[in-house]
Chains A and B, each alone.
Chain A
Amino acid sequence: MSETTHSERTDTDSTIETTAGETIEQVQESWTDYKFQGEAKLTSEGLDVYYGDDHALKDVTIEIPEKSVTALIGPSGCGKSTFLRSLNRMNDRIRSARVDGSVQFDGKEIYQEGIDLVELRKRVGMVFQSPNPFPKSIHENITYGPRKHGDIETGLLARLLGRDDWDEAEELVEQSLRQAALWDEVADRLDDNALGLSGGQQQRLCIARCLSVDPEVILMDEPASALDPIATSKIEDLIHDLAEDYTVVIVTHNMQQAARISDQTAVFLTGGKLVEYDDTDKIFENPESQRVEDYITGKFG
C-alpha cells in the first residue's frame, strides 16, 4: 500500500489542459507523487460529495498514513470538514448529502453495502469543533460508549445478574482520562456534571470519551477553535502524544497550529479541491503550487 503514486490521473489531467490552465493543473496534481513512510490507514479515491446541488468536494484522492498527524487546512467552505466527515460516514447524517467515489479504511471500502456503521465509528472516532459533552457526569460521559456497545455492564440488571463490570468501568475511566491528560484535574469529581468543566477541559473530556471505545483513527474538526491559547496548547500537546498510538486527522483554520503539530498537511482550496498534499515542512517552506503559497503567506483566502 505504501509509496503509491497516481501517475495515470496526472497524465490524463495534464494532457487535457491547455496553456495557462495546464501549468496550474500540473502544479495542483504534483502532490500525487508524495511518498510517506509507513502504511496507509485511510485512502480516498475520486471522492465527490454533494449537498443537494452543491458540489462540495471534488475528486479527492489521498492516502493518510497510520500513527501520524495529518492536518487538513484551507479557507472556509473549501470542503475540508466535509472530507473529514466522509471518513467515518458522518455525512450520512445530513439528509441532502450524497457521496460518490471510494474511501478505504485498512484497505476495506467503507462506502459499500453491508458496512457496519457502529463498528466503523467505533474504530474511526471523532472530536467536534465545539466541546459537546453530554449533560451527564464525567464518569457517565466516558462509560457511555462502551456501555451502549455492551462492552461493559454497570446497570441495575447487570448488578442483579452478578455481571457488574464496575472495576473495569473505573479502570476505563481512569485510563481514558489519563490519555486525554485530564485525570489529574478531575480525579476527585468524576460524578460532577461535565458541563461544569471549563471549555478546554470539556474538549479533553470529549477526546477521552472518543478514546473510551478504543478507536484506531481520531478525526478532529477544529478541536481548539473555541478555546483560549493555554487550553489550545494543552490540546496540541495531547494530539502530539496521541499520534504515537493513533492515526490523527485534524482540520484546522490555524496554519501555525498545522505547522506545529502535523506530520503531513493537505491543502484544500475554494471549490472543494485538494490542491497540495506533502510533508508539513515542505508545504510551509516550499509549496509547489503558487496558490498554496499565496494562501499560506496570507495573500489569499
Chain B
Amino acid sequence: MASATESDLISGRTDSTEAVAGIAVGLAALLFALSLATFFDVVSVTGTLVGVPVVPLVGGLLILLGGAIITFGIGSYLGYVETTPSPTAGLVAAVAAAVPWFVAGVSVGSIMLGSGSAGGVVLGLVTGAVAFAATAFPREDLGSTLPIGALSILAGLVLLSGIIGPEWVWDLGWEQQASLTAGFVVPALTLATSLYVGWAAAKAYGGFGARGRHVGAYALVYVNALSIVAVLVILLAFTVFRGIPGLLTGAEIGLGVGPEVGLFGLSVQLPVSLPFVMNGVALLNDYQGVLPAIVGTFWLVIGAVLFAVPLGIGAAIFLTEYAERGRFTQAVEVATNGLWSTPSIVFGLFGFAFLIPRFGNGKSLLSGMLTLGFMLLPLVLITSREAMLSVPDEYRDASAALGVTKWQTIRSVVLPAALPGVVTGVILGVGRIAGETAPILLTMAGGTFVPGSQTVDVIGGFKFTATPPFVANPELLQATSALPYQLFALITAGVGLGDSVANPNDFRWATALILLVVVLSFYAIGIGARYYFRRKLQYE
C-alpha cells in the first residue's frame, strides 16, 4: 500500500480534486479582480453586473468561495480527497488567520451589537483566539481552510444580507466629519477576503504539506508582482484617458495647418497642429498650450544632468579608485546619503536663498538647473560608485600587469564596464528631478503662465561680446516655467485660464499627461543608452 512518503513521490490526486481547488483559486482571483475594478470605479457598487446588483453578487460569491474551501478541507480530512497535509498549518498561518478574525470581532462587537469599543475589543480577542486555535491545533487541511472559509462566509453574509449595502455609510463622528462609505468598504473587504481565501485555496490546490505551502507562497508573491504592474498600468491609463481630450483640443491634421518650424535656415510647415503642445498662452490664441513649460522642463533636466553627472562620476572615481578606505570616504558616504535624503523643499530654499542672489537676483532657469543638479548629484555618485565597485578587480590587475597607468585603466576599462550602472543611476535621478515641484517653485518659475513668445531658447540665447564676460546668455537668467510647477499652479490657483480654455479640468489632465510623457521619454532615452552600453560589454 502507498505510504505517506510514497504518495509524495507520485501524486495520487485525481483531476477532479485539482479541479475543485482550481475553481476556488479562480473564484478568489475573480473576486480580487472585481474588488480592484470597484476600487477604480470601473465597476460601481451601486450598479449591477450581469443583471445582478454588485454588492449581493459579491456577497454570494464570497459565501460560495468560503463554502468551497471548507468543503475541500473537510473532504481532505475525511479522506475523500487525497492530500498530504502537515500535522499543523503552522504559526504564520495561525497568526494570519487570527488577525482578520480579531478585526471582524471588534467590528461586530462595536457596531452591530452596540457594545462599545471595550466590548468590541473583548469580542475581537475571543474571535482572534478561537481562529488562532482553530488554525494551529487541527491537522493542516482543516486548520488552513476552516477559519478562513468561515471568514469568507461571514463577509459574504454581511454583504448579501444588506448589513453593508450599496448606500451604507459609517459616520466616524470625529471632528473631521470623516465617514466610511460602501464605495471603499465593500471592495476593501472583498480584496482582503479574496486574498486570504486565495492563499488557502492555493495551498489546497497543492495538496497541503510542503508542496501546498510552496503553491500558496507562489500565489501570494505572484499577486504582489502583478499588483506592481497593475498599479503602473492603471495609473497610466487613468492619466491618458483623462488627458487625451485636453491634449487634442483644437488638433488638426492636414497640409499647412501646423506652425512653421525653422531648422538650419530651412522653414517647414508641419502637417499637424496640436495647439496644446505647440502654443503658449496668449490673449489672442484660439487654444492655449503648455509649450513654454515643456521646453522649460527639457532644458531644466539637460542642465541638471550636465551639471551633476560629470561631478558625480568624478567624485565616484576618486572614492573608488584613488581614496583609501577610511574616515574620509566614510564621511563622504554619510554626506552623500544625507544629501539624497534631504527633502526637495530644503534644496529649493537653499537655491532661493543662496543661488538667486548670486545669479541676477531673480528666479532663473540657471538657478533651477543648479538646484536640481544638487539634488541629482548624490544619486549619480551613489550609483556610479556601486557600478565601479562591481567592476571586477581582475580587469584592473590585467591592465596594471600590462604596464598601463591607473588613469588610463580607469578611462579605458573601468568606466566602460561601469557605464550601464551609471546610466541606470542617471535614469532614476532624472525621473525624480523632472517631476520636482518645490525647488522649481522657489528658484525658477515665473507667473503661472508664460506667454508662448517667451519660450526659453537656450541655444539661441548665447551672446558673444568683446568685453568681459565675453559669453552671456540672458535666457538662462530668466524666469520660466516647467510642467510640474505649472500643473501645481493650475490645481491650486487655476488662475489665468481665461475664456479660451473651454474645460479647465481637461487642461489640467492634459498637462499631467504631457508631464508623464516627458518624464517617460527621458526614461526611454536612458533605457536605450543602457542597452547600447551593455550590448558593447556582452557577447551575443
Distance between Cα atoms of A144 and B411 in the complex (Å):
12
Q: Which residues of B contact A121 (CB under 8 A)?
A: 400-403
Closest Cβ of chain B to A186, distance in Å, is 12
- Residues of A near B412 (CB, < 8 A) are 144, 148
Contact between chains at B403 and A132 (CB < 8 Å) = no
* B395 touches A (CB below 8 Å): yes
Q: How far is the CA of A193 from the CA of B416 in the complex (A)?
A: 14
- Residues of A95-150 whose CB lies within 8 A of B: 95, 117-122, 125-126, 128, 130, 132-136, 144-145, 148-149
Contact A118 B413 (CB under 8 A): no
B540:A132 contact, CB within 8 angstroms: no
Are A132 and B394 neighbours in the complex by a CB distance under 8 Å?
Answer: yes
**Binary contact track A180-192/B, C-beta < 8 Å → 1, others 0:** 0000000000001
Cβ–Cβ contact A122 & B400, under 8 A: no
A196 is an interface residue with CB less than 8 A from chain B: yes
Whole-angstrom CA separation of A90 from B402 in the bound complex: 11
Q: A144 contacts which chain B residues (CB < 8 A)?
A: 399, 402, 404, 412
Binary flags per residue of B370-405, CB closer than 8 Å to A gives 1, else 0: 000000000000000000000010111111111111
A70 → B minimal CB distance (Å): 18
Cβ–Cβ contact A128 & B397, under 8 A: yes
* Chain B interface residue number, banded: 20 to 34
Per-residue contact bits, chain A 193-221, to B (CB 8 Å; 1 contact, 0 not): 11110000000001001100100000000
Q: Is the CB of B395 within 8 A of A118?
A: no
Encode A147-191 as 1/0 by CB contact (under 8 A) with B.
011000000000000000000000000000000000000000000
Complex CA gap A125/B412 in Å reads 19
Give the distance to chain A from B394, nearest Cβ to Cβ, in Å: 4
User: What's the Cα separation between A126 and B400 when bound, in Å?
Assistant: 9
| Interface mask (B403-424 → A, CB under 8 Å = 1, otherwise 0) | 1110010001100110000000
Highest count of chain A CB atoms <10 Å: which of B324, B392, B398, B536:
B398
Known: A135-B417, A135-B538. A145 touches B395 (CB 8 A): no
How far is it, in angstroms, between the C-alpha of A134 and the C-alpha of B415 when the chains are bound? 12
8 Å CB contact of B540 from A90, A196, A206: A196
Report which of B392, B403, B417, B540 forms a contact with A145, defined as CB distance below 8 A: B403
Is the C-beta of A88 less than 8 angstroms from some C-beta in chain B? yes
By a CB distance below 8 angstroms, the chain B residues around A118 are: 403-405
The CA of A136 and the CA of B417, in the complex, are separated in Å by 9
Distance (whole angstroms) from the CB of B396 to the closest CB of chain A: 8
Residues of A within 8 Å of B322, CB to CB, are none
- Is A93's beta carbon under 8 Å from chain B? yes
Interface check B80, CB cutoff 8 A:
no
Complex CA–CA separation, A209 to B399 (angstroms) = 10
Closest 5 pairs between A and B when the two form their complex, measured CB to CB: A196-B539, A121-B403, A132-B394, A193-B539, A126-B401
Question: Given known contacts A93-B396, A125-B402, what 16 new A-B pairs fall within 8 Å (CB)?
Answer: A88-B401, A95-B324, A121-B400, A126-B401, A128-B401, A132-B398, A135-B537, A144-B402, A144-B412, A145-B403, A145-B404, A148-B402, A148-B405, A149-B403, A193-B538, A213-B403
24 contacts between A and B (CB under 8 A): A90-B400, A95-B324, A118-B404, A118-B405, A121-B402, A121-B403, A126-B401, A128-B394, A128-B398, A133-B398, A134-B398, A134-B413, A135-B417, A136-B416, A144-B412, A148-B404, A149-B403, A149-B404, A192-B539, A196-B539, A209-B398, A209-B402, A210-B402, A213-B402
